[in-house]
A and B are shown apart, each in its own frame.
Chain A
Amino acid sequence: MSSTLDVSSRERPHDEAPPGRGHDAPRATRKKSGRLAPYLFLAPWFAGLLFITAGPIAASAYLSFTDYSLIGSPEWIGLDNFERMFNDPRFYQSLKVTFIYVVVSVPLQLAFALFLAMVLDRGLKGLALYRSVYYLPSLIGGSVAIAILWRQIFGSDGLLNQVLRFIGFENPPGWVSNPDYALGTLIVLNVWTFGAPMVIFLAGLRQIPTMYYEAASLDGAGKARQFFQVTLPLLSPIIFFNLVLQTINAFQTFTQAFIVSGGTGGPADSTLFYTLYLYQRGFGNFDMGYASALAWFLLLIVGGLTAINFLASKYWVFYGD
């Protein structure tokens, strides 16, 4: 890697020398250097594409048709991995868990984000402070430390149950150890990180010219009407942006489920996120072929959902003129 960088910086002076030398006729030489320069600037990125992103996508496509455990060489087995996948109850369980998580937590997260952005966007005093406080959980929500905290708070003798007992509930459940509630605790964690989309909404709300609201209120539109007729349509590109982004993020949730369930996806596979299952197959069992098949399926889902989002956006996103 550093060699790639060295190469580009070593060759670049070369490439600059001609225009410096001849002030009178720099045009022709600059053209020549101009053709090469972009590729020198992009050299690290191209290398990254080859070895770290696009290359591995292709490699995992190949591996998904093989039986491979890191020892020896991959053995071609055709569609066996996919056949196994579609007969694998844990695969379906992981899909179900992930979909429920995405479908419940993302809309809730965005609703909170939009609501608080609207409350904040009224020239209130202390906006910067409020914004910081609400944004903070977004920065740390994916960390191991917070997942550990969650595990305590929602444990059978955790903070939440102490509070519940204090206010009179006799036998509150152990939230993280109960298959009915464990996923719920992770949904709460994701909703808790609504600050990032909120900041984006705030930036979007600032772009809406006040004259629209003035015109609407002169025409007799109340607050609710203004919200539906002015704010929502004008904000729809931003809502769409946040929706795509948070959906993709939610699909990749791993750390929280791993820590809260101790790496098992339990209890009773109730927090077996797709990425966690992929990790277990690939790096627990070193079943690299099968893990690659799972990875490709994930790529198709994320790509497909993004495409659906984009197609559907034609019907509800309003891009002004």
Chain B
Amino acid sequence: MATDLTVAPPVAATEKLPDRKIKQRPRWLAHTVLILGALLMLYPLLWMLSSSFKFTEDIFSQTGLVPERVTGSNYPDGWTALPRDFDHYIWNSLVIVVGSIIGNLLACSLAAYAFARLEFKFKKFWFAVMLGTMMLPIHVVIVPQYVLFSELDWINTYWPLIVPKLLATDGFFIFLMVQFIRGIPTELDEAARIDGCGHFAIFWRIVIPLSVPALATTAIFTFIWTWNDFFSQLIFLTDPEMYTVPVALRTFVDATSQTPWGPVFAMSIVALAPVFGFFLAGQRYLVRGIATTGLK
């Protein structure tokens, strides 16, 4: 990241033209604005983190970040507050997340290879269809999907959440990988073809190993989106045994009129922690992913 910066300091060059004093002041101003803005943006998150170590009655009287009385009991309390311990819900989420990642990596890269490297009839048409599905709100197809999955007796199983990923329905990732594969020199394919490789060998031995950055972006985004997803999990998983982390969290604020905020915040932190982890570990891929495709 930092190297990107030093390579291309976009406005720095022009700022040498005007007076030095003018240059200094906006910098200070910029840093002040940025730091205040960042604090304001992060305050709710930091406050939630600190509140997860406060007694519930203190949460409503302390706006500060340092708890006056610290308690560690919110975490064990929250962990065991629902019919099943929280690790049960984490496990359910993980199964769906891992299945989705595998599905997206396999199916989207296969489709992307076809769009980026192969010639076939109506390719432009199908590509346009694929781009169209990227814009398709899930709410438009959820009813027939529900009918289909209940016919298959898949409601309250992991399948309705994993199978669509195995069928390359996340057009964003196909698009991301098409863009990436187009950047790989075709000379490599040619060389492999002369050595007797077919399309699948070229895909598997040349394109996939060279597409690792795009695959990493796909995996990280799939993790975060699936982990955070609520709508489809709420619809397809109605049996408390099958609840995932978001659906379980929701029952916290739903079931009780008096929300136990301490434990709720503690489990919210548990729910957010993996996202933070992936964010810190995979920032480079995330930023690249958004910049090329506009993912959220």
Contacts and interface: CB of A to CB of B under 8 A. Distances in A.
Contact of B148 (A56, A142, A208, A279): A56
B60 interface: yes
A306 interface: yes
A69 B9 CA distance: 61
Contacts of B139: 252, 254, 275, 278-279, 295, 298
B183 interface: no
A143 B246 contact: yes
A171 interface: no
Contacts of B42: 133, 136
B168 A140 contact: no
Contact of A148 (B33, B163, B231, B268): B268
B83 interface: no
Given A143-B228, A199-B290, A42 B144 contact: no
A51 to B, nearest CB: 7
A122 B24 CA distance: 12
A196 interface: yes
Contacts, number: 325
B294 A124 contact: no
A148 B252 contact: yes
Determine which residue in A53, A128, A296 has the highest number of CB atoms from chain B within 10 A of its CB, and name it. Answer: A53
B30 A124 contact: yes
Interface stretch (A85-93, A256-264, A311-319): A256-264
Interface string B93-127: 00000000001001100110110001110010010
Interface stretch (B10-18, B68-76, B210-218): B10-18
Contacts of B200: 9, 12-13, 15-16, 37
A134 B258 CA distance: 33
B140 A295 contact: yes
Contacts of B60: 157-158, 162
A229 interface: no
Contact of A23 (B12, B31, B196): B196
B198 A20 contact: yes
Contact of B291 (A145, A199, A275): A199
B271 interface: yes
Interface string B210-241: 00000000000000100010110011000000
B236 to A, nearest CB: 10
Contacts of A2: 166
A73 B203 CA distance: 45
A149 B48 contact: yes
Given A159-B44, A166-B63, A249-B296, A217 B14 contact: yes
Nearest to A262: B254
A5 B106 contact: yes
Contact of A70 (B147, B198, B234, B295): B147
A48 B2 contact: no
9 contacts: A131-B1, A134-B37, A135-B286, A143-B271, A149-B45, A210-B11, A262-B254, A292-B144, A306-B135
Interface of A: 1-2, 4-5, 8-9, 12-13, 15-17, 19-20, 23, 26, 30, 33-35, 37-39, 41-45, 47-49, 51-57, 59-60, 63, 70, 116, 119-124, 126-128, 130-140, 142-146, 148-149, 151-153, 157-159, 162-163, 166, 192-193, 196, 199-200, 202-203, 205-206, 208, 210, 213-214, 217, 241-242, 245, 248-249, 251-252, 254-255, 258-259, 262-263, 275, 278-279, 282-283, 288, 291-292, 295-296, 298-299, 302-303, 306
Interface of B: 1-2, 5, 8-15, 17-18, 26-27, 30-31, 33-34, 37-38, 41-42, 44-45, 47-48, 59-61, 63, 103, 106-107, 110-111, 113-114, 118-120, 123, 126, 129-130, 133, 135-148, 150, 163-164, 166-169, 174, 193, 196-201, 203, 224, 228, 230-231, 234-235, 246-247, 249-250, 252-254, 259, 261, 264-265, 268-269, 271-272, 275-276, 279, 283, 286-287, 290-291, 294-296
